[in-house]
Amino acid sequence: MSPHLNPLTGYLLVAALLFAIGLAGALTRRNAILVLIGIELMLNAANLNLIAFWRYGPHPEALTGMMFAIFSIAVAAAEAAVGLGLVISIHRHTKTTDLDAMNRMKG
C-alpha cells in the first residue's frame, strides 16, 4: 500500500467497490429488476472512474473525459428504459419476474 494515498486512488477504489457491489447484485438476485439495478450501479461506477481520471489525469484535451461521461449517462438511461420495458412485457406473459422460473430454453 502506498504511504500516501492520493485522491485519485480513493476515487478509483470507491468505483471498484461500487462495480463489485453492482456485479454481485446482478448475479445473485432473483428479481429481474434488481439485475437491472445492479447493471445501473456498474455503469455509474464506470462513470465515476471516467470523471476521476478527467479531474486528476494529464489534460491534453480538457473536454474528452466529461463528454464521454455525459454520453455514457445518456446511453445508460436509454438502456434502462428498454430493459425495463422488456421486463414489463415478460411479466405480462409469464406473470412473474423471477429469473429462476424462466427456464424454458434449458436442457
Partner 1 sequence: MSVVFYLIAGLTVAGALAAVLLKNTVHCALALTVAFAGLALMFLELDAQFAGFAQILIYIGAVAILVVFAILLTRGSETPKDGVFGAKPLFGLVTAAGIFAVLGWAVLHSAQALPGAGGSPTPAPTVTVMQIGNALMDRYVLPLEIVALLLTAALIGAVIVAMHEKAGAR
Window 19 to 78, contacts with partner 1 (CB under 8 A): 19-31, 33-34, 36-38, 40-41, 44, 47-48, 51-52, 54-59, 62-63, 66-67, 69-71, 73-78
Look-up of cell digits 494529464: 58
Cell numbers given for 50: 471516467
Of these, 39, 46, 99, 105, which contacts partner 1 (CB under 8 A)? Answer: 99
Of these, 100, 104, 105, 106, which contacts partner 1 (CB under 8 A)? Answer: 100
Are 35 and 25 in contact by the 8 Å Cβ rule? The answer is yes
Does position 105 bind partner 1 by CB under 8 A? no
Quote the least distance from Cβ 75 to partner 1, whole Å.
Answer: 7
* Number of chain residues interacting with partner 1 (CB under 8 A): 75
Q: How far is CA 47 from CA 15, 28, 101, 105, 107, in A?
A: 9, 23, 33, 35, 38
Q: Which is nearer to partner 1, 21 or 105 (CB)?
A: 21
* CA-based nearest residue to 11, from 64, 47, 37: 47
